[in-house]
Structure 1
């Protein structure tokens, strides 16, 4: 087994004392605890810890500081922005795991990095030189088979551990759409039927190297690549009411493809300078390139034939390079400090070409900000302090200050500079062995979506979105409290209440050009978000259902922002009012069987645009069922069905004559989109 430092990325600081037990907020889960779930890899085990959800950190935020996950291996973080926790944990066979520890509340030897809880996987002596595999065959309503396979193997050679992985597969689903277009009085103008057949293929190889250089230093290297290819063939039949029936109005056809590749690499060097001081250096390189089209939307008359087409072609490339240096100091048994700096360069090149073919000639349609490059250079300094006030109380505090410059070139040229302080403080209080309270106050700055700086078109929805060079990152002040209670060996309940004050909320703003009124991504003003989240995991033996576990998740949001067109309060476009989920599993040990189901349901969502309003409705929720066994060949075999209640998602679009603020309805479109239920057979094992 490779020594713990080989997993190094962000582990216990030098000189910190390691204590366990309830006094330090540590719950231990033996390997036998997970037998009822028939785990194959460490990921299966972690996902079954009551009240815990795997998180990679917020990779959508800026730089490396927020992209640390909430799972440790032998006390050290194994994941980073180039390698997800799911990928890492899928590569650890269950035979290599000795036990799991649930860490609740800030500990001097562990940097929580904003997470309320951490899971620490303790590897068994001699772990390594082992592998896992996962094979899946999915049958879609289109009658297509989609195979997928994952294989991973780790080998230990002295102080070096190498882990190889490959995730590859194909999928092919068919989406059916039904559309009805009405005028303002409700009279039907058009009826449309879409048959949208898709096929997707990808391969994701990974490589990790962990090297214990000496007693005080470690080196870790992670590399992941992705190659993908996506195709779509869509046919649409549009009819018009005629008497008691319908008459063909037009026929539309669309064929397109998307292909690309990406790679992410990260290196981490850690060294203990003394028993109390350690340093860590991290470097990241991330590149992605893609090519869309040419995508032709062709229109045919049932009598005349070909009428014309709109042709779209686009290319893109993103770049991210980052360097982070930290110094950790354990001042004494109660105080630990971390200081450091980070610099990152992010960029995106986008090219978009749009043509109109009228059957006689092809004419280019000029869109503003269609070809552009956006580059951000960002630097940050930070300090973090963990104070263990007592066995029951700890306080985490920190301050980050970032400076950034955004330069846009191409169709639009502009340069802007920003500076943002980002303070944070978290109080963790353990009332007793069962109850814990966490209160957090912080300021966040969201990662810029560089796609918002460039124009895009959606021919299927007859919609163009202009790039917005004046877009700025959204900032949020948050006050949040969470109460967690554990009961018995398998039970956990948590309640989280939070309030967000958001500056320059991301949204859609109207832009008037000589070609008409368009929507553009932008900042629509300041808004608020009050939210309540509840999570319950409980065994059902007390309800007469033996060896069964139920998880209930519910979340409610109350969002508000001033409509830039009407001045009225409206909800956030990207946030639904509520979300609800159930997850049930029962183990029948004597029969070597288990079965379960999960159900997920979300509320409606409204989107407000310059000349349009949309209502999205998730009609019946998502129900998945499965049954699995371990009785054949020592492997876990599962048969399941996803989307059993899939009657489609509804969408209503209300089009206005002129500005939405005037309220004059021009037309209404109703659409139902469904891909149906899909069956799968999954077999997993270790070697």
Structure 2
């Protein structure tokens, strides 16, 4: 406790010392963005043909722009991420994503949307072109959306996916309330073939699985203005989460007894968050104080039961783990002007913890499980982290802006339970960004960044995966990864034809987190180096110049190569199961002079191989996804949309090879070829306002 107090005092001293130096120097403080070329702005008139209901609907129709979600798994609050702001601010929340925030802002409250270069803003950490949604709330308004979904095969219908939200004003305070259910239904079924090392079929399987998820969340925000120019925000949320997975399959060996295999898993938990910030003038600048407290309860179990067709006793196993997570963050940011630019000094303290208990069970003759403790999957992990940073941004020329951030963090990781260990790390972080705007419709952003990744505390602990017959041992030596990233973005307007964006990421990683061999088993651990190369194009092509009035094509394509040196010595292998290629094109036609819109889409995605100590495999869905929709924007004041997905027959595949020992030296034990039907998916959406 004393260390935390001393560190907090040091951070406060840093915050107040920097503006004092500025005051002594007597430097003028011009607005850093004034010299930069004009931004691109969109008003309600630009979206009229789409009849949007929310700010999210509007952003989805901006040419060449795609929403990038903020990093919800980042360390603490840290610098800003993503590419969307609301009234030039980011929300001091980690559980409320930007899509939820935008969906509860009625389109009628949006004054305009500005697209600006991130380096020109007073929000350190952003990259590329950022959408700043300028909104107001002068009166009470509300909106709702209902999105029932059915699938042609296997899946349960989804009747409860939807949202309702209200916004309004109470005196000088603006508020919003929303209830959103993030529902999901999935299913697939079909054959699996098992072959031995010689390629002969040893078993045939027919399986059907279903997955149901409901996660209703109640959220609220309150924005208020205090004395003078002070302003504050309060946000809170509470969410229940229910997940259910069931798989039933018939396994018929070429020799031996057929059996029915039942796989089940359940998660029934909750999470809650309370946060806020308060900003006010202090000396020559402004001080912003931010706090966040969140917690979650995560009970999970999985069982696998095999029932022989002869009527013999069933056999089975069960794994259960209950996790309790908490995070507490305090952050202070002081911003001022000096040396012709904008400065910000920030300090943050974050305290994270995970406490778990776990058991294993074996099915007995009475049909119940004999439960025993599983201490390797229990215990606790906590991290205390302190960070200080200093950022500076200013225009170097009329159309060129620089942003520099320097930071350092000190963290202490402590693990209790088997193999408990306490370790401390001190690591530098930061970034350098340049935004160049040669013309009004052409901009280039580049950024060099040093980051420290956030660990999943569950990775420190042992875990079993009964459905695939795999297990992870615990690893108390796990370290956060550190990344050097060179990222860039080029945006070019194409006049009446639309716009296009080229985005790239080159990343070199130290202590990459993946599966590694430990002792006689494997666990999540670190490899010394890893590399990522990513390039993406996002374009909107308007077809009006070709005479196809009211039509446009949104196109997105990306390719990435992510690999590291195999700990087993086979050379370079890819990150497990990442999407290495994606191509997607969607045509939308808003028929002029009517309230009707229709569209079609096609997509193709390729996943990389996945590797464990004794196996490798390829898990993917495809090869092609197709979709079509028709929409009416005014059915008694409502927007109604019918959409069909997976019209090109994408299927679920899993091809894996399992070895009797390490995959680089041991002989093959068996191969598995899975080919399951997904089928078409139909969604009906109703959106309205009140």
TM-score in terms of structure 1 length: 0.91
The equivalent position to 1:586 in structure 2, one of 582, 585, 589, is 589
SS in 2 for 1:359: coil
The alignment partner of 1:44 has SS state of helix
The answer to which of 527-536 and 27-36 deviates more is 527-536
Residue from 315, 319, 326 that aligns with 1:308? 315
Equivalent-residue separation in structure 1 for 2:82 and 2:573 (angstroms): 34
Shift of 1:549: 1.5
In the other structure, the counterpart of 2:390 is 383
Cross-structure match for 2:500: 493
Hey, which bits of structure 1, 4+ residues long, moved more than 4 A? 14-20, 169-172, 360-368
Q: 1:288 aligns with which of 286, 296, 302?
A: 296
Task: Note the alpha carbon deviations across 1:279-309, whole angstroms, 9 max, x for none.
Answer: 000001111102123x432211111332311
Query: What's the secondary structure of 1:452's corresponding residue?
Result: helix
The residue number in structure 1 matching 2:275 is 266
- Matches of residues 95-106 of structure 1 in structure 2 within 5 Å? 95-106=108-119
The structure-2 alpha-carbon separation of the partners of 1:349 and 1:343, relative to structure 1 and needing over 3 Å to count, comes to same
DSSP 3-state at the match of 1:472: coil
Q: Distance in 1 between the 2:372 and 2:75 partners?
A: 35
Q: Cα distance, 1:525 vs. partner?
A: 2.3
Residues 529, 266 of structure 1: alpha-carbon distance in 2 compared, 3 angstrom cutoff: same
CA distance in 1, matches of 2:79, 2:648: 37
Equivalent-residue separation in structure 1 for 2:38 and 2:113 (angstroms): 14
Q: CA deviation at 1:177?
A: 4.2
- Quote the RMSD (CA, aligned, Å): 2.4
Specify the alignment match of 2:413 in structure 1.
406
Deviations 1:133-170 (A, max 9, x none): 11121112337431223111112111112211111375
* Structure 1 position 629 matched with structure 2 position 635: no
Q: Which residue of 2 aligns with 1:38?
A: 51
Farther-moved stretch of structure 1 (83-92 vs 353-362): 353-362
C-alpha contact 2:119 2:127 (8 A) present in aligned 1: no
Q: How far has the Cα of 1:442 moved from its partner?
A: 1.2
Aligned counterparts of 2:230 and 2:68: Cα–Cα separation in 1: 27
- 1:227 equivalent to 2:240? Answer yes
Secondary structure at 2:416 match in 1: strand
Q: How has the CA–CA distance of structure 1 residues 78 and 316 changed in structure 2, closer, same or farther, with 3 Å as cutoff?
A: closer
Q: Which of 216, 221, 225 lines up with 1:208 in the alignment?
A: 221
> Which residue, 609, 613, 618 being the options, matches 1:615?
618
* Alignment partner of 1:198 out of 211, 227, 233: 211
Deviation at 1:69, TM superposition (A): 4.4
Mapping of 1:272-421 within 5 angstroms?
272-274=281-283, 276-293=284-301, 295-331=302-338, 334-359=340-365, 369-421=376-428
8 Å CA contact 2:79, 2:124 repeated in 1: no
Match of 1:24 in 2: 37
User: What is the number of residues matched between the two proteins?
Assistant: 660
Equivalent position of 1:667 in the other structure: 670
State whether residues 156 and 210 of structure 2, in contact with CA within 8 Å, keep that contact through their aligned partners in structure 1: no
2:434 alignment partner in structure 1 = 427
Displacement, 1:357? 2.4
Q: Deviations over 1:420-473 (max 9, x none)?
A: 101310111111222222221111111111121111211111111222211111
Aligned to 1:87, what secondary structure does the other structure show?
helix
Alignment partners' CA distance in 2, 1:674 and 1:31: 43
| Distance across 2 between alignment mates of 1:375 and 1:105 | 34
Which deviations, in whole Å up to 9, do the C-alpha atoms of 1:366-412 show, x marking residues without a partner? 75621121000000000000021121111110111000000000223
- The C-alpha deviation readout for 1:554-574, integer Å capped at 9, x for no partner, is 112233321110241222225
Partner of 2:13: none
**How far 1:616 moved relative to its partner?**
2.4
Asked whether the 8 Å contact 1:439–1:481 carries over to 2, the reply is yes
> Given the superposition, is the C-alpha separation of residues 442 and 300 from structure 1 closer, same or farther in structure 2, using an over 3 Å criterion?
same
TM superposition shift of 1:669: 0.9
Q: Secondary structure at the match of 1:34?
A: helix
